[in-house]
Amino acid sequence: MSTPPRSYWSTPPIDTEAKAESYPKRHREMGTPDEGRPTHGSDSASTCAAELRRPAICPFLPVVVPSFLWNPADPRMHTVNPIRGSELHMKVSKCRSRSKQTSSLSARRHSEMAPSATETPAAKQIEDLKEKDPPVKEQVKEAVYADDFPPLDEELPEVRIGHKEPLKTTGVLDQFEHFEVTPVIGREYPTLDLKELLRAPNSDELLRDLAVTISQRGVVFFRKQDNIDNDLQKELVQRLGELSGKPSTSKLHIHPVNNAGRGDTNDDEISVISSAQAKRLGIHRFLNYTKKQTQRSQWHSDITFEPVPSDYALLRLTQLPKTGGDTLWASGYEVYDRISKPLQKFFDGMTATYAQPGFNATAEKNGFKLYSEPRGAPENVGELLEAIHPVIRTNPVTGWKSVFAVGLHVQKINGLSDEESKHFLDWFVQLIIENHDLQVRHRWQNPNDVAIWDNRSAYHAATPDYIVDDLGERQGSRAVSLGERPYFDPQSQSRREALRAEAIAALKADYSS
In a domain, residue 463? The reply is yes
Which has more confidence, 461 or 275?
Answer: 461
214 and 361 assigned to the same domain: yes
Q: Which amino acid is at 3?
A: T
> Contact at 8 Å (CB) between 309 and 459?
no
In a domain, residue 149? The reply is no
> Contact at 8 Å (CB) between 215 and 230?
no
Q: Is the pLDDT of residue 512 over 90?
A: no
482 and 396 assigned to the same domain: yes
190 and 277 assigned to the same domain: yes
Across 149-163, 376-390, 495-509, least confident range: 149-163
Q: In what order do the strands lie in the sheet with 386-390?
A: 386-390, 351-355, 410-413
Which has more confidence, 450 or 260?
Answer: 450
Written as one string, the DSSP assignment of 80-129 is --SS-HHHHHHHHHHHHHHHHHHHHHHHHHHHHSPPPGGGSHHHHHHHHH
| pLDDT band with cut points at 50, 70 and 90 for residue 370 | very high
394 and 502 assigned to the same domain: yes
Which has more confidence, 63 or 496?
Answer: 496
In a domain, residue 404? The reply is yes
In a domain, residue 29? The reply is yes
| Final residue belonging to a domain, choices 103, 121, 151 | 103
Number of domains in the chain: 2
Q: Is the pLDDT of residue 70 over 90?
A: no
| Final residue belonging to a domain, choices 50, 77, 103 | 103
68 and 184 assigned to the same domain: no
371 and 493 assigned to the same domain: yes
The pLDDT of residue 89: 42
In percent, how much of the chain has pLDDT > 70?
Answer: 65
Residue-wise pLDDT tens digits, 198-245 = 999 999 999 999 999 999 999 999 999 999 999 999 999 999 999 999
Residues 127 and 140: their CA atoms lie apart, in Å, by: 10
How many Cα atoms occupy the beta-carbon half-sphere of 175 within 13 Å?
6
The pLDDT of residue 421: 98
Residue-wise pLDDT tens digits, 108-156 = 444 444 444 444 555 555 456 455 555 544 444 444 444 455 555 568 8
Residues 473 and 481: their CA atoms lie apart, in Å, by: 26
Closest CA to 14 of 36, 45, 38, 37: 36
Which has more confidence, 144 or 502?
Answer: 502
- The mean per-residue pLDDT over the stretch 153-175 comes to 91
In a domain, residue 497? The reply is yes
Q: What are the backbone angles phi and psi of residue 259, rounded to the nearest 5°? A: -135, -170
85 and 224 assigned to the same domain: no
Which has more confidence, 347 or 298?
Answer: 347
In a domain, residue 262? The reply is yes
288 and 372 assigned to the same domain: yes
The pLDDT of residue 461: 95
| Final residue belonging to a domain, choices 62, 83, 103 | 103
Which has more confidence, 133 or 453?
Answer: 453
In a domain, residue 144? The reply is no
180 and 80 assigned to the same domain: no
179 and 59 assigned to the same domain: no
Greatest CA separation for the chain: 101
The pLDDT of residue 426: 97
Written as one string, the DSSP assignment of 238-295 is HHHHHHTT--TT--B---SSSSGGGSS-S-TT-EEEEHHHHHHHT-GGGGT-S--S--
The pLDDT of residue 73: 58
CATH of the domain at 435: 3.60.130.10
Domain limits at 91? Answer: 8-103
200 and 70 assigned to the same domain: no
In a domain, residue 512? The reply is no
Which has more confidence, 57 or 360?
Answer: 360
Residues 140 and 132: their CA atoms lie apart, in Å, by: 13
Residue-wise pLDDT tens digits, 259-318 = 776 656 689 999 988 877 666 655 555 455 555 656 788 899 999 999 999 999 999 999
Q: What is the mean pLDDT of the chain?
A: 79
The pLDDT of residue 274: 81
Q: Is the pLDDT of residue 88 over 70?
A: no
Residue-wise pLDDT tens digits, 473-492 = 899 999 999 999 999 999 99
354 and 442 assigned to the same domain: yes
